[in-house]
Amino acid sequence: MSPIPTYCITLPEQPERKQRAIVHFREVGLEPRFVDGIHAERFGLKTVFPYELDNPGSNYNMGFGRVGCWLSHYTLWAALNLMWDDIFLVVEDDAKFPPDWHPRTMNALRDAPADFDMLFIGSCCCEGKPKTSVTGEVFAVEWPLCTHAYIVARKALPVILATQRKCYAPIDISLALHTMPKLKVYTVLPRIVEQFDTIIPP
């Protein structure tokens, strides 16, 4: 159904999540290519850099799960940067699409400025942040969080890759801190895509 090349990050170590995603995506007419992500604990990978923006002096380390998520998105961006499509839909395997996701997504693509870099059809934590209405359900928000469903333009990938060179913060926060201010980022509100097993704030 979707004309957008779609890639879903999943883990071979969690086959039940991939199977649920296969069934769900088929039900909503989505046929992504599944990409094996990085299981950081299995790979023996962790960051030595603390994330202390929220709690200075805490020496908080984000742990294996978030390191794996960070690396999985980064490696996918590097691969997409070698491809020729203009835009890509990136989803995580817990993305939950409603029945009307396709017309809403197509409307958002029509309403977003043609030169957009990222368009979040799934997001969180946008409430209370500076935002400007663009058209329809599309808003400019500073800055959306969550990475379970977003459309990225190939022209933005070199900037994303260049600005994500230190793995210390969860990937959505890292994008908001180091990358999004350099890009044209838009968000669909209310969000189109939810997450299985996770209640996320608006």
175-183: list long-range contacts, CB under 8 Å, 24+ apart.
175/143, 175/147, 176/143, 176/144, 176/145, 177/53, 180/118, 180/142, 180/143, 181/143, 183/117, 183/118, 183/156, 183/159
Task: Supply the DSSP string of 5-47, one letter for each residue.
Answer: -EEEEE-TT-HHHHHHHHHHHHHTT--PEEEE---HHHHT---
Please determine, for residue 1, whether its predicted confidence score (pLDDT) is greater than 70: no
Q: Kindly indicate the confidence band of residue 36, based on its pLDDT and cuts at 50, 70 and 90.
A: very high
Pick the CATH number of 6-195 from 3.90.550, 1.10.3470, 3.30.70, 3.40.50: 3.90.550
Q: Kindly indicate the confidence band of residue 2, based on its pLDDT and cuts at 50, 70 and 90.
A: low
Proportion of the chain above pLDDT 70, given as a percent: 99
Please write the tens of the pLDDT for every residue from 80-110.
999 999 999 999 999 999 999 999 999 999 9
Among candidate residues 121, 127, 128, the one with its CA nearest the CA of residue 188: 121
Mean pLDDT of the region 103-121: 98
Kindly list the domain boundaries of the chain, sorted by start residue.
6-195
CA 146 – CA 104 distance, rounded (Å): 19
Q: Output the six-digit token pair for 182.
A: 């350099």
